[in-house]
Amino acid sequence: MTAATTKTQQEQWMVENQVFQIFDLFADLPRNAKSALVELQRDNHLEYLTKGLKRLDPSFCVLDANRPWLCYWILHSIALLGDYVEHEVEDNVVDFLSRCQDPNGGYGGGPGQLPHLATTYAAVNALITVGGERSLSSINRWSVMFEVSHFCNSAYWSHFEPNDMDSEIFCREKVYMFLKRMKQPSGAFRMHDAGEIDVRACYTAISVASVLNILDDELIQNVGDYILSCQTYEGGISGEPGAEAHGGYTFCGFATMILINEVNRLDLAGLLDWVAFRQGREGGFQGRTNKLVDSCYSFWQGGAFALLQRLHAILDEQLVNYSPQTGVASDISGGEESSDGVDDKTCHFKLGGTNASCPVNLNSIGYNFVKQPGEMEALYHRWALQQYILLCAQDMKGGLKDKPGKHRDFYHTCYSLSGLSLSQHSWSQDEDTPPLPNAVMGPYANLLERTHPLFNVVLDQYYEAHEFFDTP
Amino acid sequence: MHGQPRKAPKPEDEAASAAKAEKLRNLQSQFLCFHHNNIYSKEALEVSARLLENNPEYYTAWNYRKLAVEHRLTQSESDPDSDSDSVNSILNVELKVVESALRQNFKSYGAWHHRKWVLSKWQSSLDHELRLLDRFQKADSRNFHAWNYRRFVASLLNISEVDELQYTTDMINKNFSNYSAWHNRSVLLSNLLKRKAQGFFPKEKVLNEEYELVHQALFTDPDDQSGWFYHLWLLEQTVKADAPLLVSSWPAHDSNLILLGDSCLEDSALSPFNTFHSELGTIPLVVYFNKAVEGVNSSTISVESVLNTKGELTWKPLSTNNSQTAQVWVTYLNYPNIKLHSSEFYPVEVSVGHTPGIISSSGFHYSHPSRFAFKVFVRPFEKDLAGHGVEMVSWREDNFLLYESHSQESNPILSLDQLNIKDDHEESSSKWRAETIANEIALFRELLSEINCKIGKLTLARLLIAHDMMLSPIANKMVHSEEVIQLYSDLMKLDSPHSQYYKDERSLVLLQQITSNRESLLRYCFRHGDRTSSFLGNSICLRLNNISLSRMGSIEKLLWVQMLDLSHNELRSMEGLEAMQLLSCLNLSNNKLSSFTALGPLRLLKSLKVLDISFNEIGSHSIDTTRYLCSSPLSHTEEIDWSHDETVTGDVNQTNYWEAFLIFKDLNLTQLDIVGNAIADEKFKSFLVKIVPTLKWLDGQELQLH
């Protein structure tokens, strides 16, 4: 028997070596130097982010179809750091995103591009993060649309009624019409006209509808069936039926099921089992079985834990039927879903201390979810995750990266910080109690703003938007 | 959006990069102009192709090309000179554009989707698509876009699942660590086995081959995770039993139950294991399944007896969260008014599952109808002893005396064998199961003799447990317990971040070992030596104290226990204890209970009188760490009669102690020890006295009658 090693294993060892070298180095340092190393380099991060917003590096042109994403990643990161951008920059962002808005609803990856669900999600979240009347009402601003009209022939605009330009309800209806157009007979959503169908599309559609207060029974119809068909026997959720479970899709599918009030249909015990196994020796999470650690999963996988924390009632119930001997759910019945509770229109988690069998207002689920106290501790090694983010994913010159040896970018900055925030706040039982100092690795000044675990926008900004869109 | 290949910003590259960006911007604006004016000329198509080759993420251009294809196809239809070749060439161009886009970024959603769109309009040659896939899957064998596309092509072009299975074999042989291939394999195999496809029946033969394949991977690189995950899936396919089974009951089959009134006389002729004391006029009847079931009622379980004179029995799920699905169910038999000086045996026969309706939560029906019978002997009680008075129970060491059994006693601990259900038509497959697992055990022992591998140890431990569980009804002992306990002890050192998990598993094995046969269990049975206590009478105390338990288990074999000592362990939760319906005295002192919520299961123990939870950690932690093990009573809707309770608690604000309130209000404790917990101050104690009116002793002090 000769023990050869696979390439995957060699890569894994290389990453582990790099990570453990950092940890060993850290362990040998004197106390003062230690606390300096685990400090979040706020100023440098802010500088990196602010610069990025003002002038994007030319190499980012591959992201030209994803420009609202850049706005969201940067603005959300800045908001997590508790800072704001200058008014002028904010105005520019709002103007730019308005130009990405399609006259028939939804946002494209740039001016003149087709509306796309993912960029609609990014644009809406970015505008909520900017906040304020101008930004929030821009989701419905129509006059700006003409700025892009030099690309367009007039016929394209002929159906457009200028009288409705300032009508918020009409405009939000446009987003709604876009979402409806993306909805498939199967229940799932397409990313864009003639685009791909997957779990990502379901999440971005439902998240946007929920946060804009336009979610209704028609939009959620059969979405749950589609997500369920993507939960694999491993417990995680895949991008489309038949594929293997994946961290990003697991978060998307899981959050969607909560927002449509059907989360009890998922095998949560299996999901917990899968996601718990994705935290590796490095402290960070991997995205799939036997893949390398990557800081962005601090949010995608860590976020699933943040959601599970508030679902202990359903989790408890399901754990009764769980066989801990093999770690595999004992009730796998060839993909057949459990028959319970589909028509059961009660809230599946406790709502702010009220009676749990209340009638459901779909659009208040996201609000109530974050208002109720997390009564269960997060079930992953939070300290190890924070250590990985601060020591291994942080570029001391600003920005965060996937893993040691990689380069910083806005995507990893956004999702590392989002994951760090969830981890720091997972100790506090409710939003009014700040986390204890021992919940925050490094100096207490490392504490980030709280983010909404379903929408991933900073909580204060979320509340403002919630109030703003409160009208049905 | 994630995983974009991105170059490191080097100064010398910046100029080139800026020029490239400028070029792209130009392409974009040209493209948008064509797109918005619906121009599908050759030049316009060329611009969109160049744009996509440089930036495959530009999904608007993919849509434009779809429109262009539709446009050109319509044109060629109306053109009498066109033939199928021109259609082919239109669509071939699209495939080429996709290929060069994928070379730029093979994670582009838009590019893969465009290819699917083209293929669903017009079928390219199978070989061509498979060759393309081979190329991409060689470049990145874990790329999920490629795997998704592969499944799409396979279903579109009717490639058989057998061929696809062969492909995963090839991929695995090339690279053992490719978990995507293993996963696709498990999905394909599940389908093939389920429909018993040709060559895939019986499943035993197929699974044997799979074991061989995965062994190659595991033995080549035991540190790579992929094979182990597949092995776990295989083990699950090997041992899983879908249908729920009855595993034990109380009273046990063939037992003679002696029922005493509210007092009793010393009588050494009575077996203390079978003597039951009831003040309530009822006997609990408990059925214990191997998995949670629903549908237990008077039609699915019939009870033949003169004892239940009040018509139909009501079965209650023993569930801590109000669920109608539970592993353990209970009902109560009423015994008739006992006539003084008349002693009689009442036979009871219970038939389980002869009428369908008991279903596991995963939808499998209870399919092994079984029957058990016992006799109840009602001892008349003597009124003059009834008012004798209850005394405080002391857990002091010198009050216990090791139980010495009399061989003539019938002993309900053995009844498990009699309840064991033989399944004839599965005999050959159970033989295969046993052989397979024995084979695996031998292999992994060999592997571990050469290397120190934690996942190998964990797998071996699971295999040994599976082996013992399968043979335990026959061998009547856990032959591998020592080895498994040693493996978990090793793992606790080897993998300290997960030591709590291993400790829990070790506790379960230890309990299986203790309860595996009569001799070993009797070593833990004691007589409570406080002879003056008429309350306890003949009761036997099971003492599982000071054996490092972090989790309770094997409760199906302990349903007879009335007095239980679990002190000086590391228990954090009482999960499962709700099944012990006879329990009247429980010692949990010196454990790691951190909240009242952890005691939740005790609320279902209607006979519990004496409880010692002293020296735990209740109140020391602001956050409850046990909720994932044990549900909170507050997490479910419950009708709580606050108005009634307000009068009881008076000025004490029970909302401060709501957890304690919800636990204790349902119990009729006479004795409670709570000293040594952070919460147990004077204020809390006075609160307890008010909400538990039956309480006579608190922390060893006799309470003054109010």
Contact B289, B245 (CB under 8 A): yes
Close Cβ partners of A302 (under 8 Å, ≥ 6 residues apart): A285, A380, A385, A419, A422, A423
Q: Which residues pair with B329 in a beta bridge?
A: B287, B317
Close Cβ partners of B202 (under 8 Å, ≥ 6 residues apart): B429
DSSP string, B334-374: EPPPPPTT--EEEEEEEEESSSS--EETTSPBP---EEEEE
The rounded distance, in Å, linking the Cα atoms of B547 and B554 is 15
Q: What is the mean pLDDT of residues B68-88?
A: 83
Q: Residue B334 pLDDT > 90, yes or no?
A: no
For B36, nearest residue in chain A (alpha carbons)? A152
Cα separations in angstroms, A31 against A51, A76, A437, B324: 33, 32, 17, 55
More confident residue, A116 or A319: A116
How many contacts, defined by CB atoms under 8 Å, are there between A and B? Answer: 258
And the tokens for B240? 């899983």
% residues pLDDT > 90 (chain B): 41
Contact A211, A124 (CB under 8 A): yes
% residues pLDDT > 70 (chain B): 81
**Pairing state between β B563-565 and B540-543:** parallel
The rounded distance, in Å, linking the Cα atoms of B456 and B464 is 12
Q: Which residues pair with B301 in a beta bridge?
A: B352
CB of B327 less than 8 A from some CB of A: yes
User: For position B647, what pLDDT does the model report?
Assistant: 42
- pLDDT, one tens digit per residue, over B455-495 is 999 999 999 988 888 776 555 567 899 999 999 999 999 98
For B640, nearest residue in chain A (alpha carbons)? A355
pLDDT band at B293 (very low <50, low <70, confident <90, very high): very high
Q: Are residues B236 and A326, on separate chains, in Cβ contact within 8 Å?
A: yes
CB of B489 less than 8 A from some CB of A: no
The rounded distance, in Å, linking the Cα atoms of B224 and B172 is 13
User: For position A432, what pLDDT does the model report?
Assistant: 75
Q: What is the mean pLDDT of residues B416-437?
A: 65
CA pseudo-torsion sign B300, B301, B304, B305: negative
Q: Residue A471 pLDDT > 90, yes or no?
A: no
Close Cβ partners of B567 (under 8 Å, ≥ 6 residues apart): B395, B545, B546, B587, B588, B589, B590, B591, B612
User: For position A64, what pLDDT does the model report?
Assistant: 79
- pLDDT, one tens digit per residue, over B498-512 is 888 899 999 999 998
Most confident of A59-63, A139-143, B58-62, B323-327: B58-62
And the tokens for B235? 């083990």
User: For position B511, what pLDDT does the model report?
Assistant: 93
Which residues in chain B are contacts of A291 at CB distance < 8 A?
142, 179
User: For position B704, what pLDDT does the model report?
Assistant: 78
Least confident of A202-216, B393-407, B533-547, B566-580: B533-547
User: For position B338, what pLDDT does the model report?
Assistant: 56
CB of B43 less than 8 A from some CB of A: no
Task: Report the residue of B53, B165, B224 to disrupt the A interface, i.e. the one with the largest count of A CBs within 10 Å.
Answer: B224
Least confident of A7-11, B243-247, B687-691: A7-11
Q: Which residues pair with A386 in a beta bridge?
A: none
- pLDDT, one tens digit per residue, over B366-390 is 988 888 888 888 776 554 444 445 6
The rounded distance, in Å, linking the Cα atoms of B11 and A349 is 54
What element of type H or E holds B520? helix B518-522
pLDDT band at A167 (very low <50, low <70, confident <90, very high): very low
Task: Report which residue type is found at A382.
Answer: R
Which residues in chain B are contacts of A242 at CB distance < 8 A?
148, 151, 187
Q: What residues of A act catalytically?
A: 246, 288, 291, 294, 296-297, 402, 409, 412
A336 DSSP 8-state letter: P
The rounded distance, in Å, linking the Cα atoms of B67 and B222 is 52
And the tokens for B50? 């160049």
Task: Count the neighbouring beta carbons within 10 Å of the beta carbon of residue B693.
Answer: 9
Name the strands in the sheet holding B671-673, side by side, starting at the edge strand that comes first in the sequence.
B400-402, B525-528, B540-543, B563-565, B585-587, B610-612, B671-673, B697-698, B701-702
Q: What is the mean pLDDT of residues B174-182?
A: 92
Task: Report the residue of B635, B636, B655, B658 to disrupt the A interface, i.e. the one with the largest count of A CBs within 10 Å.
Answer: B635
User: For position B626, what pLDDT does the model report?
Assistant: 38
Q: Give helix A459-468 / helix A199-211 axis angle, nearest 10°.
A: 60
Closest CA of chain B from A169, distance in Å? 28
More confident residue, A255 or B662: A255
User: For position A472, what pLDDT does the model report?
Assistant: 57
Close Cβ partners of B120 (under 8 Å, ≥ 6 residues apart): B156
pTM value is 0.77
- Cα–chain-centroid distance for residue B189? 24
User: For position A39, what pLDDT does the model report?
Assistant: 93
Contact A295, A362 (CB under 8 A): no
User: For position B264, what pLDDT does the model report?
Assistant: 45
User: For position B407, what pLDDT does the model report?
Assistant: 53
The rounded distance, in Å, linking the Cα atoms of B551 and B501 is 10
Which residues in chain A are contacts of B239 at CB distance < 8 A?
326
- pLDDT, one tens digit per residue, over A199-234 is 999 999 999 999 999 899 999 999 999 999 999 999
Burial B42-60 (b: 16+ CB within 10 A, else e): eebbebbbbbbbbbbbbbb
User: For position B418, what pLDDT does the model report?
Assistant: 44
Q: What is the mean pLDDT of residues B515-527?
A: 87
- Predicted complex ipTM: 0.77
Least confident of A24-38, A352-366, B553-567: A352-366
**Pairing state between β B370-378 and B256-260:** parallel
DSSP string, A194-248: T--B-HHHHHHHHHHHHHTT---HHHHTTHHHHHHHHB-TTSSB-SSTTS---HH
CB of B155 less than 8 A from some CB of A: no
Which residues in chain B are contacts of A330 at CB distance < 8 A?
240, 291, 362
Closest CA of chain A from B362, distance in Å? 5
Q: Are residues B148 and A1, on separate chains, in Cβ contact within 8 Å?
A: no
A390 DSSP 8-state letter: I
B128 CB-contact burial (10 Å; exposed 0-12 / middle 13-18 / buried 19+): exposed
Q: Residue B202 pLDDT > 90, yes or no?
A: no
What element of type H or E holds B688? helix B682-691
Contact B538, B275 (CB under 8 A): yes
And the tokens for A320? 């009764």
Q: Are residues A58 and B20, on separate chains, in Cβ contact within 8 Å?
A: yes
User: For position A267, what pLDDT does the model report?
Assistant: 92
Task: Count the neighbouring beta carbons within 10 Å of the beta carbon of residue B641.
Answer: 8
Q: Residue A301 pLDDT > 80, yes or no?
A: yes
Angle CA A119–A123–A124, to nearest 5: 120
Contact B466, B441 (CB under 8 A): no
Contact B411, B293 (CB under 8 A): no
Close Cβ partners of A22 (under 8 Å, ≥ 6 residues apart): A391, A392, A404
Q: What is the mean pLDDT of residues B424-441?
A: 80
For B320, nearest residue in chain A (alpha carbons)? A317
Nearest CA to B589 out of B694, B672, B511 is that of: B672
And the tokens for B93? 């161009």
Nearest CA to A336 out of B196, B456, B363, B143 is that of: B363
The rounded distance, in Å, linking the Cα atoms of B695 and B706 is 11
User: For position B252, what pLDDT does the model report?
Assistant: 86
Q: Residue A104 pLDDT > 50, yes or no?
A: yes
Q: Are residues B1 and A58, on separate chains, in Cβ contact within 8 Å?
A: no
pLDDT band at B231 (very low <50, low <70, confident <90, very high): very high
- Mean pLDDT, chain A, rounded, equals 82
User: For position B495, what pLDDT does the model report?
Assistant: 87
pLDDT band at B331 (very low <50, low <70, confident <90, very high): very high
Q: Residue B275 pLDDT > 80, yes or no?
A: no
Q: Are residues A290 and B624, on separate chains, in Cβ contact within 8 Å?
A: no
More confident residue, B663 or B416: B663
- pLDDT, one tens digit per residue, over B112-132 is 999 999 988 877 677 888 888
For A194, nearest residue in chain B (alpha carbons)? B63
pLDDT band at B357 (very low <50, low <70, confident <90, very high): very high
- Mean pLDDT, chain B, rounded, equals 82
User: For position B666, what pLDDT does the model report?
Assistant: 85
Which residues in chain A are contacts of B220 at CB distance < 8 A?
2-4, 6
Which residues in chain B are contacts of A196 at CB distance < 8 A?
109-110, 112-113, 116
User: For position B8, what pLDDT does the model report?
Assistant: 53
Closest CA of chain A from B148, distance in Å? 6
- pLDDT, one tens digit per residue, over A369-394 is 988 777 677 789 999 999 999 999 99
User: For position B404, what pLDDT does the model report?
Assistant: 76
Cα separations in angstroms, A383 against A17, A303, A396, B461: 20, 15, 20, 29
Q: Residue B10 pLDDT > 80, yes or no?
A: no
Say which of A61, A69, A407 has its CB closest to residue B8: A407
User: For position B263, what pLDDT does the model report?
Assistant: 45
- pLDDT, one tens digit per residue, over B637-655 is 343 444 444 444 444 555 5
- Cα–chain-centroid distance for residue B16? 58
More confident residue, B287 or B648: B287
Residue A101, SS3? Answer: strand
- pLDDT, one tens digit per residue, over B569-609 is 999 999 899 999 999 999 999 999 988 888 989 999 989 99
Close Cβ partners of B315 (under 8 Å, ≥ 6 residues apart): B296, B297, B298, B301, B329, B330, B331
User: For position B139, what pLDDT does the model report?
Assistant: 85
Q: Are residues A325 and B190, on separate chains, in Cβ contact within 8 Å?
A: no
pLDDT band at A7 (very low <50, low <70, confident <90, very high): confident
More confident residue, B605 or B241: B605
And the tokens for B160? 């058989």
A156 DSSP 8-state letter: G
Q: Residue B519 pLDDT > 70, yes or no?
A: yes
CB of B517 less than 8 A from some CB of A: no
Please write down the HEC assignment for all residues of B68-98: HHHHHHHHHHHCCCCCHHHHHHHHHHHHHHH
Q: Residue A195 pLDDT > 50, yes or no?
A: yes
Q: Are residues A317 and B222, on separate chains, in Cβ contact within 8 Å?
A: no
More confident residue, A48 or A336: A48
User: For position A345, what pLDDT does the model report?
Assistant: 45
Least confident of A389-403, B237-251, B547-561, B687-701: B237-251
Q: Are residues A384 and B178, on separate chains, in Cβ contact within 8 Å?
A: no
User: For position A41, what pLDDT does the model report?
Assistant: 95
Least confident of A27-41, A300-314, A329-343, B597-611: A329-343
For B192, nearest residue in chain A (alpha carbons)? A334
The rounded distance, in Å, linking the Cα atoms of A398 and A330 is 47
User: For position B19, what pLDDT does the model report?
Assistant: 83
Task: Report which residue type is found at B340.
Answer: L
Say which of B7, B20, B632 has its CB closest to residue A375: B632
